[in-house]
Amino acid sequence: MMEGKFIPVGKVDGNTTQLKVKGLKNKGNYKFRVKAVNKEGESDPLANDQYVLIKDPWDEPGKPGRPVITDVDADQISLEWDPPMKDGGAPIEEYLIEMRDPNSREWVQVATSKTPNATVKGLKEGQEYQFRVKAKNKAGPGQPSEPSEKTICKPKFVPAWLDHGALKNLTVKAGQAAKWNVKIGGEPAPEVKWFKNQKQLEMTGALQIDTKKNEHTILCIPSAVRADRGAYSLTVKNSSGEDKEEANLTVLDKPTKPRGPLEVTDVFEDSCNLNWKAPEDDGGEPIEYYEVEKLDTDTGRWVPCAKVKDCNASITGLKKGQAYQFRVKAVNKEGQSEPLVTENAISAKNPWTEPDAPGAPDIVDWDKDRADLTWEPPANDGGAPIEGYIIEKKSKHDRDWKECAKVGPQCEGTVHGLKEGEEYQFRIKAVNKGGPSAPSDPSRKMIAKSRFLKPHIDRESMKTVTIKVGQNVELSVPVSGEPPPKKEWTFNDKPVNDQKIKITNEDYKTNFSLRGATRAHAGKYLLTATNDSGTDSHHIEVIVLGKPSAPKGPLDVTDVFEDHCTLDWKPPEDDGGMPIDYYEIEKLDTASGRWVPCGRADTTHATVNNLQPGHSYQFRVRAVNKEGESDPLTTDKEILAKNPFEVPDKMDKPDIVDWDKDHVDLEWKTPNDGGAPIEEFIIEKRDSNGRWVEALTVPAGTTKATVGNLRQGEEYQFRIMAKNKGGRGEPSDPSASVIAKSRHLAPHIHREDIEDTVVKVGAAVKFNVNIDGEPPPRVTWSFNGGPLNNVQIDDVDYLTKFLISKAVRKQTGAYTITATNDSGTDTVTIQLKVKGRPSKPKGPLEVSDVFEDRATLDWKPPEDDGGEPIEYYEVERMDPKDGIWVPAGRTADTNFVVDGLQKGHNYQFRVKAVNSEGKSDPLETEDSTTAKNPFERPDKPGTPEATDWDSDHVDLKWDPPASDGGAPIEEYQIEKRTKYGRWEPAITVDGNTNAATVPDLTAGEEYEFRVVAVNKGGPSDPSDASKPIIAKPRNLAPSIGALSDLKVRAGQMITFETKVEGEPEPEITWYNPNGSEIRHGGRVKLENENYHTKLQIRASERENSGVYTVKAKNSNGEDTVSVKVTVVDKPTPPQGPLNVSDVHADHCTLDWKPPEDDGGLPIEAYAIEKYDTATGTWVPAGKVSGNETKAVVEGLIPGHEYKFRVSAVNPEGTSDPLETIGKTVAKEPWDPPGKSGKPDIVDWDKDHVGLKWTPPTDDGGAPVEEYIIEVKENR
């Protein structure tokens, strides 16, 4: 048998001999013992002999059936299971739902349920879960059920979504693949649709769509062409929502060919201009340039001749008289377009020639930067008016002629911008439309200069010159003016006349030379230039630097004393051309006989120190500048170094008459002045360091002073001496010692030693407070205006000590210290705060508003908050069944709603106040409280039925609940749910009605409805769901959605798709342009379902063009819509035959008939090609407008054999060609005539001859137009 230990389980009154023991473990084996207790102690125990098995009269229930998953959402899973086969002899109280922890794999309880079904909430989306169930009765929980199937938590209804970041604008080159791979999702799996330019796309050989549900959708164009460019959009949609995104596809390709016609203008013998229009499609890239080529009809080869940015070009380098054709290609980064070719060839020739050369120019006027010219016009203008003249110049140093001006048709002009002083010649060219003529003969030579010009002296050449004595000055000054000016130099207003100065003058320059300058040459030199146009003058200053002259005397000696004297003199007459830097002073002691330096002075006054008393001295002074020292100025006689008086006598020691903490007042007697008035008294002080330092200087005439700035508490002595012109006298004897302190001082409590204080209960409080005052103040303490309790106070002079060993809450308050002496009083009050836990809240703890799951508590704040604010109240509850207090919540108020109570359980409650120092003792309820409602929830209402509906609302009615739960029904809450959606509130109506209209429904959506009854006990369970109903009109005439006319290229798919409204759903029929009904099959795909119609005709042909009709019909009416389809293609070949007529050696004429089918688009042009059997290649021969069926082909080579062909061109392309049947030789339709008869001379004279001949026998097939007569001289 297992042994345990005895533990106390209870006490009873001495008169009671039985006890109900609680808290025993079911199916546990126990022994019990009892002890009697009196005041003297406990008795020996009485114990039972055998263990007693403690068990209920019932067992745990059996295990429930395996739970089945009935519903799944993003954060919850619903379960249901079968009750256990055995209830263990007691009713099943509840079921415990457990979930396997995905991390630890342990089973944890997550919910309870009174019924064999439950919904577990708060789950994580995407996590896998497994559940099991235990049944519980009075005996406790039974064995767990078998685990449910593993289930992933995912939304039941998720709005359709797509990865917007994957659908971005895309740029590819023609022939490359364009591909989007977009992640998609939603519950249920969404419907996926791709659109281009708002038209839905279908899979074709050129476009592939691959969609995998809830994973991705891929749109791929394996080989993109320019027609694939556009705005693509992706739509994903399910019953829960819709998502869209759009992106642009740009396909880059070569541009289409430039638009014609290719016009040739301004044709000359070596050049012409071309003009055309930009291509309709630039290929998605900017046109970088146009490549222009020319076809030499002699060689039959196309060669490049220009690259241009704009739609025009100037072509040069043509051969005079040669026939040319041109073509232009547009070029972008992707390559070259097809060429645009000129329709006809052109011949390179000018419409006019250049004029003859003009006459040689004559120079009629000029200046330093210009020349005015005149000339005679050319004798021949070349057949076109003279438009202007080109003036050319050539300077003396130029090798080539340079264009310098252009003027109009007048025969005069001015050339500007000439360089002054340069020699020039000029010539003229005449210009007409044919170009510039040959140049004229050159003009005479000329120098660019002014004809009349006021003199001007170059200032830059006459800046101030600074030299030293003996140096030279060389000046070369340009002087302009016309005619050349006269030059004159002056010095100090007089003509320059000095052997050291040489002046030479030239036409436009003057030269000045000064050799070996002296100080006399310093000054201003004026240059004056004069001619008929005026005068100019400018001066130059010449500075000649040297040593100064000697200072001017006399050298006066004054204020002679035994160790110093004063000197005075005047500045030198000549400072050497620069400032005097200083004066050098020397002295001569007659005892030594040597001159020695004794100082420098900046002015003409100086004091000489360090003389030897009783010695005789002489002095001298030199002026010094940067060039050196002057000669000296010397004193006339010697002086003797001696004083004129003595120092004062020694003074008596000073008397101390008063003091304070920072000063001492002294008095003294005046001594003998030594023969000169006393100027001042010098007071010295000595502190504990033992050194005498000067403390104060007092002017003569007073015999008392205050020495300040003393250090408080320091001991001092003082002495004094008098001073006159002879110097300081001997110091007095020291005064008596004195300490620097106050004699009378009001009390002052040091505030820094005592301050407001906060401590915790049990902590010590200590202050050591310094107090100033003379005499030492008396100190008293008080608490809140009264005496102190449990506080220790110790007082000594200038200090008081305050001590609380262990602070308690009642010592919180104001403490006042007061210091008093004869000079006054000082008082300081501080606050002491002793903080601790609050007292328990004030009762009673009242319980109100009790329901099955909650109750409200109320109480009052504690009487003592512990010195700190109450932060919150901690509320606890205890179910007496288990006897454990558990937290119920926190609140800052004095009331609290306790949630989470179990219906029918008894509870006790308690509250603690909490501040920063801790928790108070608890306030408890006096009695227990049972968790139960004062009323019940109502039963669920009857199933709602639809009584009427339309596209935006449904009318419902239902039966009230069988029981209102003991409280009136306050309202009904109607909920709605779409086919794949969740239940959501729809409308609330008053509890007195059993019908409602649910508004704001989405047309075409399928709905279910249910009703919840609400009373004071809360909402009932929802009613059963109504039958599904679609929000739509009950009766509606058909209406077909809009359709747009369609133009497609041959081979592309024809697609029409639109909605068809109507109730009941209409019957839809499509009709061909010939009126026959269209049926599904072959190239035709026709779908009519769910209010939607879609018609597709694959691989369209020209025969599919026409007007198509769709008709919708139901019992309420019908609707018809027609739409036009145009299928375009390149045209068929022109109709023959291709006739050749009017054949000549260099051209012929072609004519043909238009094609039978223009491809659905206007014929823009006919392209003509020729085939020269000599070269064996087809080359372009021209183009004509689509309105013409006749053309002249030029540029044929005489005698060559040709074939021709013509193709029709529309915007979709070029037809197959129509070709001539035979070959054509390029030759004239006639031959040269035969030989004429021999001419006979029938008459003659000295200057003429008369002739006669017979006509040729063969005129070559054309009338003879003229005869050419040739002559030959015999010598």
pLDDT band for position 344 (cuts 50, 70, 90): confident
- CA gap 178, 170 in Å, rounded: 8
What is the dihedral sign for C-alpha 496, 498, 504, 509?
A: negative
pLDDT at residue number 144: 94
Contacts of 90 (CB under 8 A, 6+ apart): 56, 58, 61, 137, 138, 139
Distances (CA, A) of 236 to 190, 232, 233: 6, 14, 10
Distances (CA, A) of 1150 to 343, 345, 407, 1205, 1219: 13, 15, 52, 9, 11
pLDDT at residue number 773: 86
Q: What is the DSSP string of 868-916?
A: S---EEEEEEEETTTTEEEEEEEESSSEEEEE-PPTT-EEEEEEEEEET
pLDDT at residue number 185: 87
Which domains does the chain carry?
A: 68-152 (2.60.40.10), 158-252 (2.60.40.10), 362-447 (2.60.40.10), 453-540 (2.60.40.10), 551-640 (2.60.40.10), 655-739 (2.60.40.10), 752-834 (2.60.40.10), 842-930 (2.60.40.10), 945-1030 (2.60.40.10), 1036-1128 (2.60.40.10), 1231-1275 (no CATH)
Q: Per-residue pLDDT tens for 968-1002? A: 899 999 999 998 788 999 999 999 999 999 999 99
pLDDT at residue number 312: 94
Q: Is 1130 exposed, middle or buried (0-12, 13-18, 19+ CB in 10 A)?
A: buried
pLDDT band for position 3 (cuts 50, 70, 90): low
Q: What is the DSSP string of 247-292?
A: EEEEEE-PPPPPEEEEEEES--SSEEEEEEE--S--TTS---EEEE
Question: Does residue 352 carry a pLDDT above 80?
Answer: no
pLDDT at residue number 104: 67
Q: Tell which residue, 800, 656, 660, has the closest CA to residue 740.
A: 660
Question: Does residue 420 carry a pLDDT above 90?
Answer: no
Torsion of CA 957, 961, 962, 967, to 10 degrees: -140
Question: Does residue 2 carry a pLDDT above 60?
Answer: no
- CA gap 243, 247 in Å, rounded: 14
User: How is residue 562 written in tokens?
Assistant: 């035994």
- CA gap 251, 175 in Å, rounded: 9
> What element of type H or E holds 682?
strand 680-686
- Which pairing describes strands 230-238 and 191-196: parallel, antiparallel, or unpaired? antiparallel
**What's the whole-model pTM score?**
0.31
Q: How far apart are the first and last CA of the chain?
A: 173
**Contact predicate 68/148, CB 8 Å:** yes
- CA gap 383, 33 in Å, rounded: 152
What's the DSSP call for residue 226? G
Q: How big is the CA angle at 1096 (ends 1062 and 183), to the nearest 5 degrees? A: 90
- Which pairing describes strands 473-482 and 509-514: parallel, antiparallel, or unpaired? antiparallel
pLDDT at residue number 1275: 59
Question: Does residue 1227 carry a pLDDT above 60?
Answer: yes
Distances (CA, A) of 1099 to 201, 205, 948, 1082, 1211: 15, 11, 49, 11, 20
- CA gap 695, 654 in Å, rounded: 14
**Contact predicate 715/687, CB 8 Å:** yes
Mean pLDDT calculated for residue range 459-481 = 90
Q: How many CB atoms lie within 10 A of CB 152?
A: 11
Question: Does residue 817 carry a pLDDT above 90?
Answer: yes
Mean pLDDT calculated for residue range 791-813 = 91
Q: Per-residue pLDDT tens for 660-698? A: 888 999 999 999 888 888 989 999 999 888 899 999 999
pLDDT band for position 1169 (cuts 50, 70, 90): very high
Mean predicted lDDT score pLDDT of the chain: 90
More confident residue, 102 or 215: 215
Q: Per-residue pLDDT tens for 37-61? A: 888 888 888 888 888 888 777 888 9
What is the dihedral sign for C-alpha 595, 599, 600, 606?
A: negative
Q: Per-residue pLDDT tens for 126-147? A: 888 899 999 999 888 999 999 9
Mean pLDDT calculated for residue range 1090-1103 = 89
Question: Does residue 203 carry a pLDDT above 90?
Answer: no
pLDDT band for position 723 (cuts 50, 70, 90): very high
pLDDT band for position 572 (cuts 50, 70, 90): very high
- CA gap 871, 348 in Å, rounded: 107
Q: Percent of the chain beyond pLDDT 70?
A: 99
Q: Per-residue pLDDT tens for 820-861? A: 998 899 999 999 988 989 999 998 999 988 888 899 999 999
- CA gap 970, 975 in Å, rounded: 17
More confident residue, 1272 or 461: 461
pLDDT band for position 1 (cuts 50, 70, 90): very low
